[in-house]
Amino acid sequence: MTITIAIIAGTYKPERCGVAHYTACLRDALKKHGIQSVVLTTHAAATEVNDKSVRGVVQDWRFADLMSLVQAVHATKADILHIQHAAGTYGFERAIFLLPLLLKATGYRQPIVTTVHEYGWWEWQPKAIPPQLIE
């Protein structure tokens, strides 16, 4: 039985992005162990890479794009979902945080793993909530 991991990446330009480079190295290491992977990213990022396992499934990372991403994750039929979370690669859009919730609400039951890059240097606080209500 072959294991497949779907990897969500904000961008996929390994020669220009540290997170994408990390993802490419991870994919190479997994392949050596017989584990297949597919990258789900933006249409623009996928067209820059000559790799059929890198799929453009969203235009951008806004809320309006999430259902396309949810559908793409389901379509992979992957055994595990791995989200490469680096705020900058998602254009600092916060909608990606809703992905696990939307997946679960649509019947997704596979394990979800998240690698957090760039942790702690950007502010998460929603713009609509005054700071005094959060503290």
All domains of the chain, ordered by start, with CATH? Answer: 4-134 (3.40.50)
The Cα–Cα gap between 15 and 36 comes to 21
The Cα–Cα gap between 94 and 10 comes to 12
Q: How confident is the model at residue 118 (pLDDT cuts 50, 70, 90)?
A: low
The share of the chain scoring above pLDDT 90, in percent, equals: 56
The Cα–Cα gap between 125 and 40 comes to 27
CB atoms within 10 A of CB 121: 7
The tens digit of pLDDT for each residue in 43-56 reads 999 998 889 999 99
Q: How confident is the model at residue 41 (pLDDT cuts 50, 70, 90)?
A: very high
CB atoms within 10 A of CB 101: 10
